[in-house]
Every structure is written in structure tokens, then in C-alpha cells.
Structure 1
Amino acid sequence: MTDAPGASRPEQPERPGRAPRTRRPRRERGARESLTSITLVLEAIMFFFPMLVVFGKHTLPPAVAFGGGLAAIVVLALASRLTGTRAGVGFGWLLQAAILATGFIEPFMFVVGLVFLALWVFCFVKGGQLDRQNAARRAAVGD
């Protein structure tokens, strides 16, 4: 049985002895954190295709091609959540080098790795500039 639109639902009883639940405010993310995180997610999505190429060309055994590809996808996706810390950004730089190194398995990955490295550097630099501009703007408004 479903509720009809506009029908009122019974009020939830207050839980005795407990304060009502409130959501924590979201942590404000800077431009650098957001942009580098997006780059890592794009790399994770992209890594599906080289995995298929390596499998299709029989460069590696199927278990290694799919296992390594899926592992790289998971690591890149998880690393995108860490870009708010210095260690996370450092890990992101390390992952850029690892993606470039996959060019030794499939040579076209040197080109793809360079494109994503350029995107990573751009997002890192431009994000830092935007964060500094936003901090200066907030400081000026606060005065």
C-alpha cells in the first residue's frame, strides 16, 4: 500500500532523552582538491579501455590484464577521495608516474599518460591559484 500524494504521514515520536539528529555541515573543498579529484576519477574511467586493449592484443595473460586493470581503477578511484591531504596529493603524483609507466606494456599509454599528466599539472596549478584568489576575496570581505 502506498501513500497518496498529499496525504500526511504520522509524525515520528520524539526519542526520549536524545537530541534530534542534525547533519554535519559539509567540509568546504578547495578548487585544487576538486580539480585533482576529478582528474583521478577521469583516469579511473579511462583505464578501462587500455585494460581491454592489453587483453585483446594478448600482451598479458587475461587474469593479469583484467586484475591489474581493475586494481588500477579501484586505486585511482580511492585516491580521488584523498586529494584533500598533502599525502593524497603526493600519492596522486605517484599515480601519474605509474600511468606513464604503463607505456612499457602498451606504448600508446605514453601518449595517454602525458595527456593526463598535463591535465593533472594544470589542475594542480590552476586550482592553487583559484584557492589563493578565493582566500584573498574572503579576507577582503571579512575586513
Structure 2
Amino acid sequence: MSAARASSVRRSLASIVLGFELIVVFLATLVIFGLSDLPPWVTLGGGALLCLIMVATLGLLRFTWAYAVGWAIQVVIVATGFLNPAMFVVGALFAGMWTYCMISGSRIDRQNNAA
């Protein structure tokens, strides 16, 4: 298990995106709960589980494998668009931000390590 550098720009950007995404997922859970015909335990339980996974991932970003979990979270959030079509847009926006932050953060970290 390799650990990422403590002052990594990629880690900082990932935590910012996941933190804001956590708030949006919580609010989206409440919207889907109010608008869908799914049983409440499915909607609220699924949203709570996704929020817990996101919080755990925030704490585990010191490990490189946690970034793969972050990518999986992006896929799941885009897939919630099947429950509420607006989540396709929200998920795509956050997936785009995640992609940009991973690419830019990695590039900046490489430049900082080379200097």
C-alpha cells in the first residue's frame, strides 16, 4: 500500500471536489426521496451509504488506491441520473471537475517534485 505525498496538490483538489460533492449528494438524496416512488429505506439508505463512502474516501486520500474509489464514486453519481434526470448534469459536472483536478493536480505535483 503506497502512500501519496502529504502535501500533494492532487490530494487537496480531490478533497475539495469530494467535499462539495458530498453536500450535493446529501441534498440530491432528499430530492430523490421526495420525488421518487422508491421505498424510503432504499432512497435514504442508498444516499446515506454513498455519503459514508465519500466521507471514508476523503479520509483515505493519503493512499493512491483511494483515487480509484473516487473515480467509482463519479460513475455512481452519474448513474443516479436514472433516478432523477437532473443528476446526469450534476454528475457530469462533478466528473468533469474530478477529471480536471486529477490531471492538473498530478501535473503540478510532478513539476513540484522535479524542482
TM surpasses 0.5: yes
Tell me which residue corresponds to 1:134. Answer: 112
Whether the 8 Å CA contact 1:43–1:116 is kept in 2: the answer is: yes
Matched residue type, 1:60 = L
1:1-143 paired onto structure 2 within 5 Å: 28-137=6-115
Deviation of 1:131 (Å): 0.5
Matched residue type, 2:85 = P
Q: Which consecutive unaligned segments of at least 5 residues does structure 1 have? A: 1-26, 138-143
Whether the 8 Å CA contact 1:29–1:84 is kept in 2: the answer is: no
Q: Deviations along 1:36-62, whole A, 9 cap, x unmatched?
A: 122112111111111111111133222
**Could you say what the CA RMSD is over the residues aligned between the two structures, in angstroms?**
1.4
Structure 1 runs (4+) deviating above 3 angstroms are none
In structure 1, how many angstroms separate the alpha carbons of the residues matched to 2:36 and 2:73? 24
Aligned residues with identical type, % of pairs:
41
In structure 2, how many angstroms separate the alpha carbons of the residues matched to 1:123 and 1:35? 6
Whether the 8 Å CA contact 1:54–1:106 is kept in 2: the answer is: yes
In structure 1, how many angstroms separate the alpha carbons of the residues matched to 2:101 and 2:78? 18
- How many residue pairs match? The answer is 111
In our comparison, the structure showing a higher alpha carbon Rg is: 1
Whether the 8 Å CA contact 1:36–1:123 is kept in 2: the answer is: yes
Whether the 8 Å CA contact 2:36–2:83 is kept in 1: the answer is: no
In structure 2, how many angstroms separate the alpha carbons of the residues matched to 1:99 and 1:56? 18
In structure 1, how many angstroms separate the alpha carbons of the residues matched to 2:38 and 2:7? 40
Matched residue type, 2:69 = F
TM-score, normalised to structure 2, is 0.88
Whether the 8 Å CA contact 1:32–1:131 is kept in 2: the answer is: yes
Whether the 8 Å CA contact 2:6–2:62 is kept in 1: the answer is: no
